[in-house]
Every structure is written in structure tokens, then in C-alpha cells.
Chains A and B, each alone.
Chain A
Amino acid sequence: MPNPARAWREYPQRYRLEAEKCTKCGTIAFPPRLVCPQCGNRKFAKTKLAETGKLLTFTIIRVPPDPFEDQAPYAVGIAELEDGVKLTAQVVDCDFAALKVGLRVRLEFRKLSEEGEAGVIYYGYKFVPE
């Protein structure tokens, strides 16, 4: 993924948790979409994701993809936030033994990976136990 534009265009979501709320049915789309997956409406109002929620499931990645090679093993989970949005992210600052379905987490801004000496450094959100 050598093109910085690809990372840059996701900044509003990844850096500021910007989401969009359907003006008709209230469904929150994250990342933003052009069509509401619930009702088909095409109008949205800007909103921001809830920053806390609880884990629905998780795993510990022992065999990582390339950009995460130096981080393994690390935990990844899907959490349902207070606003109903379900989100995938790493779970950090947490003993693996403490991971469980229902664990309360909050979103924090962290570094995710980097491309190497001259490449892009990727930032975004991670889950941290509350």
C-alpha cells in the first residue's frame, strides 16, 4: 500500500471517528457510505462514534500479516459501541487472560503499523479495557 492518499482519505474516520447518521432511520454508518444499509436512504448527517462499548468476540493473532510481524502476538476484537455500531480493532493494554466476551472497552488513538523507513506510518483507533 505505497500510496499515502489511500491512508489520508480514511483520516476522518480513523483519526476523528467521524461517522454518518441516516436522516431517515437513524442508522449510524461507519465508515461512511452513500446508501443506508438499513433503509436505502441516501442522506446522512455527520456524527461521531461513541467511544465506549463491550467486546462481542476476540482472538489473539499468533501468525500475523507482514506489516504486523514485529507486534505478534496481539489481540483483535469486535466491540459493540454504546451507539450500536460494531467495530473491529486491536485490544491493547490488556493481559490475554483478561480477554472475555462482554469486556468493557474504550477507543483510543494509537499507532497501528508502518511501512518502513520512508513509508507511511499508520495511525488509528484501538480498544483499551475501561
Chain B
Amino acid sequence: MRDVAVIGIGMTKWGELWTKSLRTIFVESALLALDDAGVDKIDSMVVGCMSSGLFVGQEHLTSLLSDYLGKNPVPAARVESACASGGLALRQGFIEVASGMSDVVLVGGVEKMTDVTGCEATFALGTAADQEYEGFHGLTFPGLYAMMAVAHMHKYGTTREQLALVAVKNHDNGSKNPLAQYPFKITVDGVLQSVLVADPLRILDCSPITDGAAAVVLCSADMAKKMKKPVIRITGSGLATDTIALSSRKDMTWIESTHLAGQKALAMAGRKIGDIDLFEVHDCFTIAEIMVTEALGIVEKGRGGRAVEEGLTSLKGKFPVNPSGGLKAKGHPVGATGVAQAVEVVKQLRGEAAERQVKGAKRGLTQNMGGTGGSSVVHVFEAE
């Protein structure tokens, strides 16, 4: 395997982008990434998208997006693993470059979610759960994570306030990110008084519906060294799956796929969790970030809530989690999220994150997951 580097990143402002179509938001981010890399010719393209079929009635993104990017007849692939589609795209691009099959690969993620009604969006997102044995009973995604929260609170004494503190922390970080959908601060009281979605989760525990895209350009580390950009290598990649139904898991308070993907990525990088300077993780709901910090080994089992309270995971803490604002404040265009996490980590490792810069960051980790943890992708990034 060859060493792989990220030489270009691109992301535009996320939000409810009524004036822009899926193809436009994708191409905008892809062009930014290509310009940032200073390359025009790509050998291949991989796109992560969860459900353009249900969100905009459009499949065949390989043709559509390579066409509008002006790159036909470039080989292109679209990959899907629910909300982990972006992370999966990054991994497939990594594999292509590492294997020597391609020298320069554009990896993109996109989701255009606001062309449908809230109900239709809820349905589309629900397809990441077991349709016949979860959705059939009226369960929603907030409902599934709410059940994980109830189990975690029951087993470990995690509190309602600790959940709120995750959202407050991520909005604090997001207020420093001009590309975030919600770049403003919120308060614990604000979270606790927001409307209930699925007890005990309230609307401010949930990541929003977002239109957005993100892109990165990968090439071999040898090639990257000849360019003028700082060389950020991807040193570890891990992917794992678990049961689709939450009820089939041995322990509903533990995300095994994230644990396994994290172990694999760290082993490949030859690193321990304590070597990592910052984390971009999948906080689709506040409880998710708490459980992910435990599954990655940032904190012990059951300590995720307390860690937020103690400031361990805040921007100036020992293990900053979601300096970008996370899915909560930055937004969660499902297929784009995993790629945007890579964009943020590369920004941080280049020292380009301005107000939210983690000082002296040399190593970063991304964790992106599908459904309630039915799939997880973890990557480790290192600056030279």
C-alpha cells in the first residue's frame, strides 16, 4: 500500500439552500477542492450520498456529477452507507490511491434535503433503520437515539443536563465556523425548554435537516510532497458494521461498530487514542457524541456525560471533540457529513481553522456512522 495524502479541501456554506440544486452544491465544493489542490486532472471520483432518490428523485449521480463538473469520461462511483456514506466515500478513495489503481481521486459527499417536506425527509432518513421491524412500529431516528439515551441514563446515571451540554459545546464551536448552518450559541436552558421530539430528546438535541456538500482531493504522499501545500496524510482507515436493528445489539449503550472501526484505524496508523489532538465525530443527536467518545476510548464506558460536564471535550479541553460545531451546529446533509469531517480535520492540521483552531494540532480523527451504529467509519490524519 502507498501512503495517501489530502491535497485539497472544499466546502461551501451549509443551510437551507433553496436557490441551489444538488448538482450545483456538489460542483461548487468539488471546484473549491480542486482549486485548493491546484490540480485539474483527476483519475477517478467517488461520491457519498445517502438518498438522492428519495430527497430529489435523482439517482445515477456518477453520470450527473462528473458531467456537471466537466470531467466526463472520468471513472466515477457512488457509495451509500446511510449517514456514513461520506466517510465510506473517503475510505474508497483512500483504497484507490493506496492500491496504486489511481493517482489523484476526488472524494465528494452531497445531500440535498430541503426539496421535500419534513415528513418526507423523516421517511427518507428512516430508511437507515430496519423498515419492517423498527419503522413499521412508528419509530423514527430521534426515537431510536432517545431509546439509547434512556438506556444510557438508566445504566450510567447520565443526566439530561449532560446531554444539553453537548449541544451547547458544539454550538459554541459552531459559532466560530462561518460555514455552519447555525453559527450561534445556545444555552442549557434553551435546550431544556426546546420542544420534545422523542423523550428525553428535544429539538435542540437533534442535528438539523441540511443542504450541503464537501469534497477533498487525495493523491499519493510522494506526489503530495512535490506540491506546495502542507502534506496531510491519511494514516489509518477503519470500517465496521453491526446489526441494523437496535434491538438486536448485545448492549444498546455501546456502539460496537465505532469501537471496532476506531481500533482498526488507530492500529493502521500505529497510534493510541491519547496521541490524537482533535476529533470530528458523528453527533447526530447529543447522546450519540457521548456514546461515541466512549466507544473510541476517549473516555471510559459510562463516562461520556461527565466528560462533557468537566470540559474534557471542549475546544480548549484535553480532547477537543467537534471543533467545527459538529453535525449539531454545522448541519447534517447526511451524505456530505463524513467528507466535511475530513475537511475540518485537514483545516485544523494545516493551522487554517482561525478562531476555532486547536493549537498545535498534529493528528486528528474522524468518526462517521450510519443509522444507530449499523456502520461506522474512522480515519486518522497526520500532519508531516
Interface of A toward B, CB cutoff 8 Å: 10, 31, 37, 56-69, 71, 74, 76-78, 86-90, 96, 101, 112-113, 122, 124
Contact = CB atoms under 8 A, between A and B. Distances in A.
Interface in B94-141: 119, 122-123, 126, 132-140
Contacts of B195: 62
B313 to A, nearest CB: 25
A74 B129 CA distance: 19
A101 B151 CA distance: 8
Given A61-B139, A112-B137, A66 B123 contact: yes
Contacts of B245: 88
A2 B135 CA distance: 15
Contact of B247 (A65, A67, A78): A78
Interface stretch (B196-204, B227-235, B337-345, B362-370): B196-204
A96 to B, nearest CB: 8
A78 B123 CA distance: 21
A61 B129 CA distance: 16
B138 A66 contact: no
A59 B137 contact: no
B261 interface: no
A36 to B, nearest CB: 13
Nearest to A100: B154
Contacts of A66: 119, 122-123
Interface string B237-258: 0000001011110001000000
B150 A88 contact: no
Contact of A88 (B139, B154, B201): B139
Contact of A59 (B123, B133, B146): B146
A112 B136 CA distance: 8
Contacts of A76: 137-139, 143, 147
A101 B150 contact: yes
Which 3 pairs of residues, A with B, have the shortest CB-CB distance? A59-B146, A68-B138, A57-B151
A57 B154 CA distance: 9
A59 B119 CA distance: 19
Nearest to A127: B137
B135 A89 contact: no
Nearest to B154: A101
B246 A88 contact: yes
Contacts of A88: 133-134, 137, 139, 245-247
Contacts of A61: 138-140, 143, 198
B142 interface: yes
Contacts of B76: none
B148 interface: yes
Contacts of B135: 65
Contacts of A60: 196, 198-199
Nearest to A74: B138
Nearest to B120: A66
Contacts of B201: 59
Interface in B133-168: 133-140, 142-143, 146-148, 150-151, 154
A71 B154 CA distance: 27
A9 to B, nearest CB: 9
A96 B18 CA distance: 39
Contact of B138 (A10, A86, A87, A90): A90
A125 B81 CA distance: 30
A62 B138 CA distance: 11
A112 B140 CA distance: 15
B138 A78 contact: no
Contacts of A31: 132-133
Contacts of A56: 151, 252
Interface string B62-91: 000000000000000000000000000000
Contacts of A65: 119, 122-123, 126, 135, 138, 140
Nearest to B135: A65
B127 to A, nearest CB: 11
